[in-house]
Every structure is written in C-alpha cells, then in structure tokens.
Amino acid sequence: MLGHIIERVVQALAVMLVMSALVFVGVYAIGNPIDVLIGPDVSQDIRLETIARYGLDRPLWEQYFTFLGRILHGDFGRSFVFGMPVLDLILSRLPATLELTLLAVCGAALIGIPAGIYAGYRPHGLPAKIIMAVSILGFSVPTFWIGLVLIITFAVELQWLPAGGRGDTASLFGIEWSFLTLNGLSHLLLPALNLAFFKLALMTRLARAGTREVMLTDTVKFARAAGLSEWTVLRRHVLRLIAIPIVTVFGLEFASTLAFAVVTETIFSWPGIGKLIIDSITSLDRPVMVAYLMLVAVVFITINFLVDLAYVGLDPRLRKARA
C-alpha cells in the first residue's frame, strides 16, 4: 500500500510539472496585459518601465523557469489588478466557493442516492417514475436558466430569500463562513440549490442504474434465499456494490464544482474563485489565471488520489492485490 501511495505521488508531481508548462505557455502567449494595465496615452518610457517591472520583456522560457522557482517557495506572484499576492487573493475567495460546493454536492448525494436506490428497487411504482422525471428535468434544463427561475420565484415574487451576495459571515478557525449565520445561510441556499440540481439528477440516475443491475445478480438472490431482510440486502449488498461508481462520480463532481462554479457564482454575485477567474480573464490578470488553473489541477489530482484510496477500502479484491 505504501508503494502504491509513493507511486501515485510521483505520478502527481509529473502531471503537475506538465500542467504548469501547458498552463503557463497557454496563458502568457495570449494577449498583452500591458494594454489593459496602462492607458494608450502614457509615454514610451513608462510603458517600457511597466513591461520590465512585470518581467514581460524576458523570453517566455525564462519567465517560465522564474515562475517555477517562485512556486517552489510558495510564491505565485502578485496580481496585476489587485496588487496583492495571488495565493492570498485565491485563499481569501476559496472559503466562499468551498462552502457552496460542499452544500451542493453533499446535499445532492444525500438526496439523490437514496432516491435512486428506491427508484431502482421499485422501478414500476409512481414515486419511482416521479423521481426519474425530476432527474430528466435536471439533465435537460441549463444551469443559468434554473438560476434565473430561482431568483424570480424566491427572491422577486415571494421575497423569501436574497437574490445575490454572500450576506453576514462569522469567523471559525480564522476564516469567514456564511453558513454560521442565518443571514449568510439564506444567501447560500439559492446558489447551492442551483448547483445541486444537475448533480442530484446525476446521482439519482447512477444509483438507480446500479441498483437495477445489482438486484438481478446471484449475490442478491443468495442473500434473499438465506432469509436476510430486504433492508439488510439493500444496505449490506446493493449499497456496497454500487458504491465504487458513486464514489468516482462524487469525487469528480466535487472537483469540477469547486473549480468551475463560474456560472452560478456570476448569476448570484457569489464572491468565490469562479467569479474571480472571470474578472481575471477580462483584465488579462495572468498571475491569477495561472495560479487558478494550477489550483484546479491540484484539486483534481488530490481528489482522484483520494477516490483511488476509497476504492481500496471498498473493494476487498483491491486490498488483497495491493497487500
């Protein structure tokens, strides 16, 4: 097991090195941030001084190796626009996106998996058909449209919940969180619901398909023949056998939501890293764009690593193979 972990860590470092080169070249080869940072009427001396200050007068390969050297010391550079260290800027926005992602993905899993198991266990009942109809709706309707409907319904017409912003926050371990205050929680509900709708449909359909398949296997037939109750069969056999694909999708959805909640954060003016990257792309803030994409790569690699470890815990055959 230790050898497997070391192997995965080495693979992760190699992937990060390749990603850093691709991201850096992709971002720094496009556009000219100087045109955004300074006005067209400034003198040539000021223009050259600004270019030299940001190191943009050096060859691209030299800028890349300077960037790698800074990363090794935890320095991702300074934002062109905000004038502060990029890492501090991203970390200041990360809690907002993290709490939004956790509420959306965990809520979708807690509701979608039981609903999908029920729909697979009783596929011909009316509740199962209603569950599947809702899941089809979740797949079919665009996220931005659902967000607009939620705002019009709950914020404009009913005036139950606010339409945007993060609301009041409270400090926990030195970090500001919205879910710790009622006002912040009210601001969190609509964007979380908007994010969760597609994932709820995905979890439901995945759990239903897995349950339908597992219910026809010899494992379930033998368990029933042994006199186990239906609840025991579902909990001990069905849920365990469908857990691996669900864990995979849960991990990938968590990573993708954490990295790409751009549409929802824009619609609800949620001050997370999704809105930050949109603003950075608009202003060609290269250090923020590179650091954000590197963070996305780290998130995906870390979650894939954790999912791989979860496989070993869920599947005894993998434990024996790697023992």
Q: What is the CATH number of the domain that holds 108?
A: 1.10.3720.10
Any domain includes 170: yes
Global pTM reads 0.79
Residue 115 has pLDDT above 90, yes or no: yes
What range defines the domain where residue 204 resides? 87-319
Q: Which residue has the tokens 């791989």?
A: 308
- Rounded to an integer, what distance in angstroms lies between the CA atom of residue 291 and that of residue 106? 27
> What are 183-240's pLDDT values in tens digits?
889 999 999 999 898 889 989 999 999 999 888 888 888 888 888 888 888 888 888 8
> What are 15-52's pLDDT values in tens digits?
888 888 888 888 877 767 677 667 677 777 877 887 78
Q: What's the pLDDT at 204?
A: 92
Phi, psi of 147 (to 5 degrees): -60, -45
Residue 183: CA count within 13 A, CB half-sphere: 6
Name the percent of the chain lying above pLDDT 70.
94
Q: What's the pLDDT at 218?
A: 85
Give how many domains the chain has, as a whole number.
Answer: 1
Any domain includes 138: yes
- Rounded to an integer, what distance in angstroms lies between the CA atom of residue 55 and that of residue 52? 5
Any domain includes 66: no
Mean pLDDT over 150-172 rounds to 89
Mean pLDDT over 276-301 rounds to 84
Any domain includes 9: no
| DSSP track, 185-226 | HHHHHHHHHHHHHHHHHHHHHHHHHHHHHHTTSHHHHHHHHT
